[in-house]
Amino acid sequence: MYWGGLRIARIAEMLDVAETTLHSWKSRDKWDDALAIERVEGALEARMVLLINKELKEGKDFKEIDLLGRQIERLARVRRYEQPGGHEGDLNPKVANRNSGERKKKVKNEISMEQAEKLREIFMEESFEYQKNWYRAGLTNRIRNILKSRQIGATFYFAREALLDAVETGRNQIFLSASKAQAHVFKHYILQFAAAAEAELTGDPIVLDNGATLYFLGTNSRTAQSYHGNLYFDEYFWVHRFQELRKVASGMAMHKKWRQTYFSTPSSMSHEAYPFWTGDLFNRGRAKADKFDFDVSHGATTQGALFQDGQWRNMITVEDALARGCDLFDLDQLRLEYNQEEYDNLLMCQFIDDAKSIFPMRMMQPCMVDSWDVWADVYKPFATRPVGNREVWVGYDPNGEDENGDNAGLVVVLPAQGKGGKHRIIEKFQIRGLDYEAQAQRIYEICQRYNVGHIGMDTTGIGSAVYQLVRKFFPAVKEYKYSPEVKGQLVNKTYNIIAKGRLEFDAGWSDLASSFMAIRKQMTASGRQVTYVAGRNKQTGHADLAWATMHALDADPLDGDQVATASIMEIC
């Protein structure tokens, strides 16, 4: 009764025993010193004796005696386990038999027949109709070329398709992206897909138990020619030296049993891959009689079509995706978030005409590198302090003034070491829907990970409130109050840096490249000054990541070298 929580006075009252007597028993038998297991054993013993001594037992009494007996047996095992030499076999008799027979060695990356069936079931159930169209096309066409809207699940889908093919056919799968970091997005999706069927995959490359190998490559890979298998070339409209890479890539899937899949969001009509999509590359150098007219318009390719060059082409806009089962978008909201030009490029598969851009595609492509490869000596992305104690610069471009305004852009730049060195954009964030306190908190978190030497930020609109909070933990923060003169200074300085080949960022960051490409010059309302805009008629423009980068790069002294600046002055 005492171990059950009753006080001595209450027990004395219930048993009609003097309190002093109970206190004597408690002290003599050390009730308070008893271990939990001893208290349970005492309660079990008392209840068991009571039931055994019962003259007329009912069915429930026999059940309880059996239950209590089994509990006493378990406690006895615990007692043996606690003795010197105790082991798991004392707690669970089955443990002793686990290693008695010959053990089967676990096969690495094994996927059973049941797991393979589960993968196929998930694959078919969770694919949208346009993705199933890609699947059917892959069964009969060796080359698929897909122009797509952003965020409709292409990388996600093809990662699943490739794993399923590897499991069922034993064929190798090669994932080629603008950077190795981007290629590992495929790997992440593959591991998730396998885990959904309770299969665990490890390694890089991943080698399945049936011999199929899954390779994850960036375009900087020097040994890509030695691989062979089904090829998946991701975001090919954003890679540098596409024609050169296409020859290497197609060589990996040259045999007729291998399948080639190219898919990307559109970039610029000046990109090397544009003739590959339009068919002009096929016609180039052929006699007039051997040339074909390729209709690659949306109407001709929205369902997918096989062309004379052996490529099955398909254009899928965000509106097509919604019409074919995708439920991930709110079109009305997207039209509020993007101006018409951005909407057409990002979501409706329209190419950018960057002829009027201050930072055209040809200028941005040399900046795009395979960061995991090129920066391996200085940047550890998964470390607590990714660049150790080296100084970084931070640039921030705020949200618009209302809920439907721009995203906020935040970038971290690792400055060059020495005159003429390269600045590296090592992190970028696009922030939407956070109030000014939350945005300031995000900048504070950056200051905890890095040794920040400079923060530059636009203080237009909500930026002013964020600026006031950032000053509390970084008093030296530099503010920019936008005017044509200030914007001109930022653009000129960044143009100088890029023109000299002094800026690098991961080749998979197509959003950063397109942000720069969106910036154009425009006359002010007075017609007397040149300013710079990015699609919207707002003073700050919309290219948030590009402006954030310019705020960070403003810390570069440039050493007074004005050679490259002259080029942009000619443009203006």
Check the CA dihedral 114-115-119-125 and report its sign.
Answer: positive
Q: Which residue has the higher pLDDT, 511 or 37?
A: 511
pTM, 2 dp = 0.70
What does the domain layout of the chain look like in residue ranges? 8-97, 113-347, 354-571
Start-end of H helices in 478-543: 484-499, 510-517
Q: Which residue has the higher pLDDT, 94 or 73?
A: 73
pLDDT of residue 221: 57
Q: Which fold has domain 354-571?
A: Nucleotidyltransferase; domain 5 (3.30.420)
**Angle, helix 154-169 to helix 129-140, in steps of 10 degrees:** 40
pLDDT in tens, 285-302: 899 999 999 999 999 999
Which residues lie across from 457 on neighbouring strands? 396, 479
Contacts of 55 (CB under 8 A, 6+ apart): none
Minimum mean pLDDT range among 150-154, 177-181, 421-425: 177-181
In the predicted model, is pLDDT for residue 67 greater than 70? yes
pLDDT in tens, 384-417: 999 999 999 999 998 654 444 557 899 999 999 8
Under a CB-based contact definition with an 8 Å cutoff, are residues 323 and 240 in contact? no
In the predicted model, is pLDDT for residue 478 greater than 60? yes
pLDDT in tens, 191-230: 999 999 999 999 999 999 999 999 999 877 555 567 899 9
In the predicted model, is pLDDT for residue 91 greater than 70? no
pLDDT of residue 541: 41
In the predicted model, is pLDDT for residue 572 greater than 60? no
pLDDT in tens, 533-570: 775 433 334 688 999 999 999 999 866 444 334 344 44
Which residues lie across from 307 on neighbouring strands? none
pLDDT in tens, 302-352: 999 999 999 999 999 999 999 999 999 999 988 887 878 888 988 999 998
Start-end of H helices in 141-268: 154-169, 180-196, 242-252
Minimum mean pLDDT range among 422-426, 450-454, 471-475, 481-485: 481-485
Chain centre to alpha carbon of residue 305: 32
DSSP 354: G
Tokens of 19: 């309190």
User: H or E stretch including 216?
Assistant: strand 213-218
- Tell me if 113-347 shares its fold with 354-571: no
- Count how many Cα atoms sit within 13 Å of the Cα of residue 185 in the half-sphere of its side chain: 20
pLDDT in tens, 107-163: 899 999 999 999 999 999 999 999 999 999 999 999 999 999 999 999 999 999 999
In the chain the first and final C-alpha atoms are separated, in Å, by 93
CA distance 523 to 349: 29
Mean pLDDT confidence for 270-286: 93
Other Cβ atoms within 10 Å of 119 Cβ, number? 21
pLDDT of residue 222: 55
Under a CB-based contact definition with an 8 Å cutoff, are residues 441 and 465 in contact? no
Average pLDDT taken over every residue of the chain: 86
pLDDT in tens, 243-269: 988 888 888 888 999 999 999 999 988
CA distance 146 to 348: 13
Q: Which fold has domain 113-347?
A: Rossmann fold (3.40.50)
